Amino acid sequence: MNPSFANDSVNLEVLRRRAYNYRWAIHPPGVIPLTAADPDFPACPEVAEAIRKHLLEGYFPYGRPEGDNQFKQAVASWYTRRKNSPVAENLVLPVNSAAYGLFVCARMICTNPGDEVLIPDPVDFLFRKSVENAGGVAIPCKVNPDTAEFDFDSLSQKINARTKAIFICNPNNPLGRALSKEELNRIILFAQKHDLWVVSDEIWADIDFDKKCLSVFDSKLESYAKKLVVSGLSKNFALAGLRIGYIIASDEQTWQSLLTFSLHQTTAFGIPLISQIAGTAALNEGEYWLEAFLQHLNKMRDKTSAFIDSCEFLETRITECTYLAFPKLKLHEANSTKMVEKILELSNVALVPGGKEWFESQSEGHIRICFSTSEEILEEAFSRIKAVEHLLT
Ligand SMILES: Cc1ncc(COP(=O)(O)O)c(C=O)c1O
């Protein structure tokens, strides 16, 4: 067992003070939150060390609106060396989270009210929110829950003169599936045919147990000028609170346009230098930590699958990527929200319900379990649910 991911590394006293977004800090002490996808472990020590050095210099001036060069370089190198995606550092735009990255892309793309963006269903609620915030309309398109693939016949029927983009989530949150090379090429060619932007949210791409997930910029894939990547360091490096994200453009003109729409030059928006310094340390020095984290997660994934298999009320489901399981409820007229409320009330374990508000309509009838915690905490949560299983059906 790697000590970084042992139970003693989970400092509940700190998490109960700091971990918001449906996690430890918003629940009474007895509750175990397997909710928002945020690890219970401290980040790699290189991150704290880089921040400490920066703090000791004592200067906190305005940063570059275009982003810190070292961080841009670190992102470009991460894509080039780990993802077969030769990314130029000048085409990376650091932003204060992947969430904001999606908002910036949507703003750049939806320039006329009512512009439409195709989004997968199910997918994280940020897809719809980013499009609607930009004055656009999100058009959910069902994907196969086993493969996260679109049905291209029904996708074609959704195209009209207002359609501007297709957003993809690779790997998909909540499905835990990465898209195949063939599917990515189909999406790129479809976008080319209809002159659409392809926005690929790759924030989960490093949590890939079989190392199968491809970036939309992988050089094996069809090339196309209107590709954009949105990603960040919340999931792979446990840095959600530092709000570190980035967008990668295909060319200089698009990058300039993203910078304009980011509003960084107004100083009202932007990513703090301290976050970029932390991100640089994680990407340049934390790869060993990420590999150890993946090994731990792999074990937690097996535990979670075994738990799901053992539950009468859940359909079997194996996670291929992400640290999320998304089983379907086997019950008649299953309502995700009611089930999650019941589980919380009876067992003091908090989960995330499926349903339109969180993951679009097709996700209704599912529950989401985040397993990026210690073995002991996960076992305790699962045994609590097992103890009340007979009351849940
Ligand atoms: C698919 C997806 N995109 C974006 C985000 C947001 O990431 P960030 O913390 O960088 O805003 C999440 C967080 O859960 C996510 O699942």
Number of H-type helices and E-type strands within the chain: 13, 12
Q: What does the pLDDT look like over 152-174, one tens digit per residue?
A: 999 999 999 999 999 999 999 99
pLDDT of residue 393: 82
Q: Which of 227, 246, 145 is nearest to 187 (CA)?
A: 227
> How far apart (Å, rounded) are the C-alpha atoms in residues 314 and 164?
38
Mean pLDDT for the chain overall = 97
Q: From ligand 1's centre to the CA of 231, what distance in Å? A: 8
Q: In this model, does residue 308 exceed pLDDT 90?
A: yes
The best mutation among 126, 199, 368 to test binding of ligand 1, ranked by most ligand atoms within 8 Å of the C-beta, falls on: 126
> How far apart (Å, rounded) are the C-alpha atoms in residues 202 and 168?
9
Q: What does the pLDDT look like over 88-132, one tens digit per residue?
A: 999 999 999 999 999 999 999 999 999 999 999 999 999 999 999
| Average pLDDT estimate for 52-68 | 97
- Domain 62-285 classification at class level: alpha beta
pLDDT of residue 302: 97
| Nearest protein Cα to ligand 1, atom 6 | 99
Query: Could you say which DSSP state residue 133 is in?
Result: H
Residue percentage of the chain with pLDDT more than 70: 99
Q: Locate the domains of the chain by residue range.
A: 3-44+287-392, 62-285
pLDDT of residue 316: 86
| Average pLDDT estimate for 320-342 | 92
| Phi (first) and psi of residue 86, to 5 degrees | -70, 100
Q: Which of 291, 298, 306 is nearest to 322 (CA)?
A: 298
Which one of 3.40.50.11540, 3.90.1150.10, 3.20.20.70, 3.50.50.60 gives the CATH number of domain 3-44+287-392? Answer: 3.90.1150.10
Q: What does the pLDDT look like over 243-283, one tens digit per residue?
A: 999 999 999 999 999 999 999 999 999 999 999 999 999 99
* Ligand 1 atom with least separation from CA of 169: 1
Query: Could you say which DSSP state residue 203 is in?
Result: T
**Is ligand 1 within 6 A of the CB of residue 99?**
yes
| Average pLDDT estimate for 49-61 | 97
Q: From ligand 1's centre to the CA of 392, what distance in Å? A: 31
Paired strand residues for 32: 349
Amino acid 261 reads F
pLDDT of residue 197: 98
Q: What does the pLDDT look like over 68-88, one tens digit per residue?
A: 999 999 999 999 999 999 999
Tokens encoding 145: 């829950």
Grade residue 1 by pLDDT with cuts at 50, 70 and 90.
confident
* Ligand 1 atom with least separation from CA of 322: 16
Paired strand residues for 169: 201
Tokens encoding 283: 């990407």
pLDDT of residue 353: 96
Tell me if domain 3-44+287-392 and domain 62-285 are identical in fold.
Answer: no
- What is the C-alpha R_g of the chain? 21
